[in-house]
Structure 1
Amino acid sequence: MLKSVVFDLDGTLIDSAPDLHRAANVVLRSEGLPEITFDQARSFIGKGASVLIERVVESVGLADDPEAHPRLLGKFMREYERDPALTVLYPGVIDALARLELLGCAMGLCTNKPEAPTHIALKHFGLDRHLRAVASADTLPVRKPDPAPLIKVMHDLGGPGLYVGDSEVDAETAERAGLPFVLFTEGYRKSPVEDLPHAYAFDHWDQLPGIVAQHFGALEA
């Protein structure tokens, strides 16, 4: 039986909020604008760089300036497309991916992160060695919570399986794709765990291989 597992990136495999916070504030300082807090930056993550900067623009009072968003987004992307300096893998990620490979899982990625920083991060952390298919914010004309990118990755892997993510966007994407959702509870979600539809939940990556084995084992039984 094919065992496909697809992951979100930010807030799931990697904790990138410190780098996103840094990049946003570099841009704001260059504009002579007030900086945002780390908690603000963290709450802006999930729907891609354009939406993040849209929220930054609103937070600093420039929502009525039609030129602010494209200008700040351009500056932000130049900062964003660097090797991660403050981003870290969540504890246990690499070991979990290795264990999933031993279980015979085909693995992929579905993220709203733009293509260039996605591949920079995957290569930087060695995640590209484990992921056979990737959909970023630029892969299709639509992005999560539209289910099309997730469905594409599952198709590229050879069939449906599990989607692993951390947020409301990920939960909605899995639900719309008709796939079981595995919630990583230590990411960037804003809602209580019980308010997000999910088939399984975990708070440390050493738990995920057991969840995957349980799921596919039950299907084979």
Structure 2
Amino acid sequence: MTRAVVFDLDGTLIDSAPDIHAAANTLMARHGFAPFTPEDTRSFIGSGVPHFISCCLRARGRPGDAALRAQLIAEFIDLYETAVTLTRVYPGAAEALHALENAGFALGLCTNKPVTPARSVLAHLGLDGHFPVVIGGDSLTVRKPDPAPLQAAVAGLGARDVVYVGDSEVDAETAARAGLPFALYTQGYRKGPVADMPHARAFADFADLPGIVATVLA
């Protein structure tokens, strides 16, 4: 059995909020709704596309329109597959991935982003080679915070000693339900205080992550 680190994606390795904001406002304009601010759409991120679209419709006074919701989900996913041009890797994240690999850790990804857009943005940013296992929000019939996607990533890596790295309340709950130690990246999309989220370690600088992982799994 191998040692591994499994990562969330949006708000953890990459700042994709600008692309998500642009895609959301493309949809809003298309359907005659007012645009959102970046802060609005950032607050909707974390629980997958269906939840994101539900938040958009609730904010625009159409929470119960199931047909419109289904249409917007399909249109958003279509836009999302090429929504990569405004997304950036967080400072130091790529270097941390290399350092972890050099230290003998297998790397996996467990995100609520649909798997095709996840793979597209990883390829665009040159990160795809790090992750032999990618579990997206549509890879299983459930999403985080259900522990099954994270457990699937761990199983795919054949790993026993694992740290999950994420940025949000959803990630913290997922790790807790899977029984795995959680390293919290504090510069992502969390909605509340760090102190309110269960975690083994918190970090703001990716240069600290390899040491954190080694300490947690010692």
State the partner residue of 2:41.
41
Q: Show CA shifts across 1:114-150 (max 9, x none).
A: 0110110111112111112111112111110000110
Given that 2:23 and 2:79 are in contact with CA atoms closer than 8 Å, whether structure 1 keeps it comes out as: yes
Q: Equivalents in 2 of 1:39, 1:53: separation in Å?
A: 15
Q: Equivalents in 2 of 1:57, 1:131: separation in Å?
A: 34
Q: Equivalents in 1 of 2:148, 2:20: separation in Å?
A: 26
- TM-score, structure 1 normalization: 0.95
Q: Show CA shifts across 1:16-73 (max 9, x none).
A: 0000000000010111111111111000000101110110011011113232211222
| Structure 1 unaligned spans of 5+ | none
Q: Equivalents in 2 of 1:152, 1:66: separation in Å?
A: 30
Give the match's secondary structure for 2:66.
coil
Pairs within 5 Å for 1:68-79: 68-79=68-79
**Structure 1, 128-137 or 41-50: larger mean CA deviation:** 128-137
State the partner residue of 1:14.
14
| Structure 2 unaligned spans of 5+ | none
Given that 1:184 and 1:203 are in contact with CA atoms closer than 8 Å, whether structure 2 keeps it comes out as: yes
Q: Equivalents in 1 of 2:66, 2:214: separation in Å?
A: 50
**What amino acid is the match of 2:65?**
D
Q: Show CA shifts across 1:87-139 (max 9, x none).
A: 10000111110000111000100000001101101111121111121111121
- TM-score, structure 2 normalization: 0.96
State the partner residue of 1:58.
58
Given that 2:145 and 2:171 are in contact with CA atoms closer than 8 Å, whether structure 1 keeps it comes out as: yes
**What amino acid is the match of 1:128?**
D
Given that 2:181 and 2:216 are in contact with CA atoms closer than 8 Å, whether structure 1 keeps it comes out as: no
Q: What is the Cα deviation at residue 213 of structure 1? A: 2.1
Q: What is the Cα deviation at residue 83 of structure 1? A: 4.7
Given that 1:83 and 1:124 are in contact with CA atoms closer than 8 Å, whether structure 2 keeps it comes out as: no
Given that 2:23 and 2:83 are in contact with CA atoms closer than 8 Å, whether structure 1 keeps it comes out as: no
Which 4+ runs in 1 deviate beyond 3 A? none
Give the match's secondary structure for 1:170.
helix
